[in-house]
Amino acid sequence: MNPHAKLISTMSLIMGTSITMSSNHWILAWTGLEVNTLAIIPLISKSHHPRAIEAAIKYFLTQSTASALILFSSLTNAWSTGQWDITQLNNPTSCLLLTMAIAIKLGLVPFHFWFPEVLQGSSMTTALLLSTLMKLPPITLLFMSSQSLNPALLTTLAISSALVGGWMGLNQTQTRKILAFSSISHLGWMIAIIIYDPHLTILTFALYSLMTTTMFLSLTQIKVLKLSTMLISWTKTPMLNATMMLALLSLAGLPPLTGFMPKWLIIQELTKQGMTPTATTITLLSLLGLFFYLRLAYHSTIMLPPNSSNHMKLWRTNKASNTPTAILSTLSISLLPMTPLITTMF
């Protein structure tokens, strides 16, 4: 990509995210969302492959619809209450519209159909941005308006996202789609707790971003786009394979890895709030995700010769060593003992 275009896109992404996160007025927040949408379109369609163009169009249509709904929600709220402040969303219709709009933006069930397709059509780096950075502004808006939103609706969205994310991820063979469904499932956990403890949502999002970034960077380094390629990656980068397996298990929420922390805290908070059936349901549904993460981890690391592999072995990877991946892998595996410190930060 032209370096100037890349610079403009990157700066626009940062600017759009900053605008939305720092705004108190709905119009400014909407502006930031639109800047973000427009900035990422050239990144998604960079390769000009028909599937990449398709992904870019799908992304644009869904995000524009959601932005229009956000604007409409803020307008109806301003019309009925005279308030443009994001934290003063009092009109029930506005709250409903905003919830739907944020669900579309984030890819929550039942508005999740675009997310795996868009991720599959993008490159690994763009998919990473779509899964982490592009979710930050909508989560911020949800965080700021969480006290006005309908708890029953949010709980329904959360449980259905955990269910669909786990169920649909079961038979995926493309790594980006697997991570897309993992994202949907994790978003379910984040939304489940936002009414009761919004700071836990932010903590979950931060840790999810950490673990997902580790996975994406690891997969980019060994150029794994589908599962069968993962079988031969251990020959060239055995250490990366081992850390990738642990990062996968961390994403699954297995103790004593980092990913267990948000799940534990969310279950604890839900139980304290008397939402034990919700906590039980969402925990059981996360077992689906655990199943396919374990299967991935097994097939990538534990399946060793003399079984035959389907692919030519990788000659070389991108770089000999990758410092950010190493740091992020360490963090995504070993942060659980620091839970008391981390919870005070959020």
User: Angle, to 10 degrees, between the axis of helix 323-334 and the axis of helix 198-221?
Assistant: 140
The 2-41 contact track toward another protein, x by CB under 8 A, reads: ----------------------------------------
Using DSSP, state whether 290 is helix, strand or coil.
helix
Whether 57 and 77 have beta carbons less than 8 Å apart is answered as no
Crossing angle for the helix pair 50-81 and 92-106, nearest 10 degrees? 160
173 lines the binding site for another protein (CB under 8 A): yes
Cβ neighbours around 57 below 10 Å, total: 15
Binding track over 282-301 against another protein, x by CB under 8 A: -------------x---x--
174 is a site residue for another protein (CB under 8 A): yes
- As given in the structure block, the two tokens for residue 96 are 């409903």
CB of 6 to another protein, least distance (A): 12
Task: Return the residue of 14, 38, 75, 227 that touches another protein, per CB under 8 A.
Answer: 227
Please name the helix (run of DSSP H) or strand (run of DSSP E) that holds residue 274, with its range, or none.
none
What gap in Å lies between CA 141 and CA 99, rounded to an integer?
Answer: 10
Q: Does 170 bind another protein (CB under 8 A)?
A: yes
* Binds another protein (CB under 8 A): choice among 10, 42, 58, 75: 58
Minimum CB separation from another protein for residue 168, in Å?
Answer: 9
Please report how close the Cβ of residue 162 comes to another protein at its closest, in angstroms.
17
* Length reported for the chain: 346
Range 131-160, binding another protein (CB under 8 A) = none
Shortest Cβ distance from residue 63 to another protein (Å)? 16
CA distance 270 to 257: 21
Among 308, 318, 323, 344, binds another protein (CB under 8 A): 308
Return the closest-CA partner of residue 85 out of 23, 151, 165, 14: 23
Q: Does 167 sit near another protein (CB under 8 A)?
A: yes
Would you count residue 51 as binding another protein (CB under 8 A)? yes
Cα separation, 319 vs 277, in Å, equals 48
**Contacts with another protein, residue ranges (CB under 8 A):** 47-51, 53-54, 57-58, 117, 120, 167, 170-171, 173-174, 226-228, 231, 295, 299, 303, 307-308, 310-312
